[in-house]
Structure 1
């Protein structure tokens, strides 16, 4: 059984890299962001709360995040292990996680702030089905329309300049100490996230001692 945490600033490719790892190694991919977005899209009480927080450019509170992660992991559907994305975001969450689960490695996707801004400004989200697009690497076939359902592609509410600046400040203030804690207790593999997707995946596998990605098809 393999259990990993993937850490990185917004736009560093956590979702893409964790999905590639999970699909190839039969791991369960647990994305805190995806869970919250599901609630937002389905207009749940939790979704309304998260939407207000995101629109203000703030991070969801510790208790709420910990509760969501705990509930998801308690489903115990991860027979071969899991890769958790978007958690922990601060030292308290890291301590909670280390007390509860033995993890095999922490993947740190390192990305400079100026590249974060470039990537985030290119993100779009389908208003109908929630499909993610990035105009740098994943452009839709029809400009402004989702390839899956034809819905309108919009800039996320929390991708404005002011909200992004606040998130970057908060990330460095709260998440950098998380990596220090993990380095004391667990193995941290730091990867240059500016590289192409395939190169990042090969690098993180090499540093974790994992098999190379299986060829497509």
Structure 2
């Protein structure tokens, strides 16, 4: 069984690299952001709370994030392990995670702020089927329209200059203590997230001693 945590600023490729690991290692990808977005899209009570928080460029509180992760992991569909993307985001969440689960490795995707801004402000989301696009590397065939369902492509509510600046500030304040805690257990591998997907994936697998793609 393999259990990993992947940490990085918004736009660093956490979801992409988590999905690749999950597919090839037959483990479960648990994206806390995707769980929150599902609640927002389906207009649940939790979703309304998350939507207000994300629109303000703030991070979801510890109690709510821990509750979501705990509930997800009680489903026990991760017989061969998991890779968690988007959690923990604070010292308290890290302590909760270390006490609750034996982690095999923490992947830190390191990306400079200017590259974060470039990538994030180019993101688009289909308002019909939820398909993700990036106008830098994954443009739709028809400008502004989803290739899958033809829906309109829009920016996420939290992908604004103001919200991004706040998220980056909070991210840096919180991430150093998290990496320090995980680092005490010698879990952390830091990967330069600027190269292409294939190169980053190959590097992180080499560092973790995993089969190459």
Q: What's the TM-score, normalizing by structure 1?
A: 0.97
Cα offset, 1:186, TM superposition? 3.6
Could you tell me how far apart the structure 2 residues matched to 1:176 and 1:130 are?
32
Could you tell me how far apart the structure 2 residues matched to 1:167 and 1:176 are?
15
Could you tell me how far apart the structure 2 residues matched to 1:47 and 1:78 are?
25
- Aligned residue in 2 for 1:94: 94
Cα offset, 1:187, TM superposition? 1.6
Could you tell me how far apart the structure 1 residues matched to 2:149 and 2:176 are?
39
Could you tell me how far apart the structure 2 residues matched to 1:186 and 1:157 are?
37
Structure 1 segments unaligned to the other structure (5+ residues) = none
- Aligned residue in 2 for 1:54: 54
How many aligned residue pairs are there?
213
Secondary structure of 1:165's partner?
Answer: helix
1:36 matches 2:36 = yes
- Aligned residue in 1 for 2:130: 130
Runs of 4+ in 1 over 6 A off after TM superposition: none
1:152 matches 2:152 = yes
Contact 1:104-1:186 within 8 A present in 2 as well: no
- Aligned residue in 1 for 2:167: 167
Q: What's the TM-score, normalizing by structure 2?
A: 0.98
Structure 2 segments unaligned to the other structure (5+ residues) = none
Could you tell me how far apart the structure 2 residues matched to 1:111 and 1:30 are?
22
What whole-Å deviation, never above 9, does each CA across 1:153-181 have from its counterpart, x for those lacking one? 00111111111000000000012210011
Could you tell me how far apart the structure 2 residues matched to 1:124 and 1:208 are?
32
Could you tell me how far apart the structure 2 residues matched to 1:40 and 1:130 are?
12
Cα offset, 1:100, TM superposition? 0.1
Cα offset, 1:191, TM superposition? 0.5
1:121 matches 2:121 = yes
